[in-house]
C-alpha cells in the first residue's frame, strides 16, 4: 500500500484508511466482535495503517474495539479519534449537545487513551465545531496535549475555511475530515483550496456515499429502523432511483478499467490530490479487499476528464442529511 503525507507536521498514512464507525454504530447492524477484530487485523495485514474511530461511535464501544484489535500492531498504525459531543454517564448521545470546552477535551483524551489501550492518540479531531467555544481555545488545548505527549497531531472535522485558518494559527492543523465523494463535491469550492494553501491533509469520510456508490443499492433497498440512512433524504426510494445515473457512470468507467464502481469512486478521490486519504468502511473481508484494490487503479487525465464531463450532466437528488443533522456540519 502506498502512503501519503497529511499536513506538514510529519503525519504519514496509507493511501486508503479504514473508517471503523460502521462496525458497530449507525448502520443498523453490529458485526460479531470476533469478526470485527479479525477484519481490523486483516486490514492492517493488507497494508492499512490509518484507522478512524470516535468516542461517540457506540458510544465508546468502537474505540474499545479498535484498541483491542490493533494492540498487536500498535507500533505500525495511526489511530484517529474525536472529541466534541456531550455524552451522559450511560453513554446516550445528545447530537445537539456539542461540547469542546477545554476541560471536556482533556477528559475525552484521558478516557480515549484507556479505551484505545495506548499512551498517545495519533490524531485527535474536533468532531464538530462548537459555536460556544472559540476555536482558538480548542486549538490551544490540543496544543497543550501535544506538548504533554498525549496527542501527536491535531485535526478538524466539517469545519469551514475561516475556522480552519483561525485554528491553524494557534496549533498547526494536520488534517481536515469532511464528507467528500464524486456525488458530494461541496468541499471543492472553498475547503480544498484552503487546505492546499495551508498545507493541510484531507480525509474524506463517506467516500462511497454511505454505501450507495458501491452499486449494491436500488430504489427497492430497505433499511433497518436503527440504520440512520433510513431517514436521510438522499436514501429515499425516489432519490436513489434518480441517482442511479451516478452508478451507471461508475460502471461505465469500471468496465474500461476492469474495476468495480466502488473502486472507481475511490480511485477518483485519490486522483484529486496527493494529500487525500479516504476512509471507506466495511464489515466484510471481500469488500475490504475490493476497496483496497482501488489504490492500484490509475485514472489518466483522459479518464478524469471523461468522468468530469459525464458527472457534470448528472443532477444528484436529495439532501445528504436531515436539517437537524445538517446543522451540525459545514460550520
| Rounded distance between C-alpha atoms, residue 153 and residue 311, angstroms | 35
Which backbone phi and psi does 126 adopt, to 5 degrees? Answer: -80, 120
How far from the centroid of its chain's Cα atoms is residue 51's Cα?
10
Question: C-alpha distances in angstroms, 24 versus 69, 173, 219, 255?
Answer: 14, 29, 25, 33
- 57 assigned to active site: yes
Contact 41, 9 (CB under 8 A): no
Catalytically annotated residue among 57, 125, 180, 205: 57
Helix residue ranges per DSSP H, 72-160: 102-115, 135-147
| Rounded distance between C-alpha atoms, residue 229 and residue 231, angstroms | 5
Contact 223, 246 (CB under 8 A): no
| Rounded distance between C-alpha atoms, residue 153 and residue 294, angstroms | 27
Question: C-alpha distances in angstroms, 8 versus 101, 155, 160, 174, 275?
Answer: 27, 12, 20, 7, 10
Instruction: Return the sign of the alpha-carbon dihedral for residues 60, 122, 281, 175.
Output: positive
Give catalytic residue positions: 57
Amino acid at each position: 500500500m502506498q502512503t501519503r503525507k497529511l499536513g506538514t507536521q510529519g503525519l504519514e498514512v496509507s493511501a486508503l484508511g479504514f473508517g471503523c464507525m460502521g462496525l458497530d454504530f449507525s448502520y443498523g447492524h453490529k458485526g460479531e466482535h470476533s469478526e470485527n477484530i479479525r477484519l481490523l487485523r486483516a486490514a492492517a495485514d493488507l497494508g492499512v495503517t490509518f484507522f478512524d474511530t470516535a468516542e461517540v461511535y457506540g458510544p465508546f464501544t468502537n474505540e474499545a474495539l479498535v484498541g483491542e484489535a490493533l494492540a498487536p500492531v500498535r507500533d505500525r498504525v495511526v489511530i484517529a479519534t474525536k472529541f466534541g459531543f456531550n455524552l451522559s454517564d450511560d453513554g446516550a448521545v445528545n447530537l445537539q449537545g456539542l461540547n469542546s470546552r477545554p476541560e471536556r477535551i482533556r477528559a475525552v483524551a484521558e478516557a480515549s487513551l484507556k479505551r484505545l489501550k495506548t499512551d498517545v492518540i495519533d490524531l485527535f479531531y474536533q468532531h464538530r465545531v462548537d459555536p460556544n467555544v472559540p476555536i482558538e481555545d480548542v486549538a490551544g488545548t490540543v496544543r497543550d496535549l501535544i506538548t504533554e505527549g498525549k496527542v501527536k497531531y491535531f485535526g478538524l472535522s466539517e469545519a469551514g475555511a475561516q475556522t480552519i485558518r483561525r485554528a491553524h494559527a494557534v496549533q498547526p492543523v494536520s488534517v481536515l475530515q469532511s464528507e467528500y465523494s464524486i456525488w458530494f463535491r461541496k468541499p471543492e469550492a472553498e475547503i480544498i483550496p484552503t487546505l492546499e494553501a495551508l498545507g493541510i491533509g484531507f480525509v474524506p469520510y463517506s467516500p462511497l456515499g454511505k454505501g450507495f456508490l458501491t452499486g449494491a443499492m436500488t430504489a427497492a433497498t430497505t433499511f433497518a429502523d436503527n440504520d440512520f440512512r433510513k431517514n436521510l433524504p438522499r436514501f429515499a426510494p425516489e432519490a436513489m432511483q434518480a441517482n442511479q445515473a451516478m452508478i451507471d457512470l461508475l460502471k461505465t468507467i469500471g468496465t474500461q478499467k476492469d474495476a468495480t464502481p466502488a473502486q472507481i469512486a475511490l480511485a477518483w478521490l485519490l486522483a484529486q490530490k496527493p494529500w487525500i486519504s479516504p476512509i471507506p468502511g466495511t464489515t466484510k473481508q471481500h469488500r475490504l479487499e475490493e476497496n483496497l484494490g482501488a489504490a492500484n487503479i490509475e485514472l489518466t487525465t483522459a479518464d478524469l476528464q471523461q468522468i468530469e464531463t459525464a458527472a457534470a450532466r448528472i443532477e444528484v437528488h436529495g439532501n445528504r442529511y436531515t436539517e437537524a443533522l445538517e446543522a451540525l456540519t459545514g460550520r
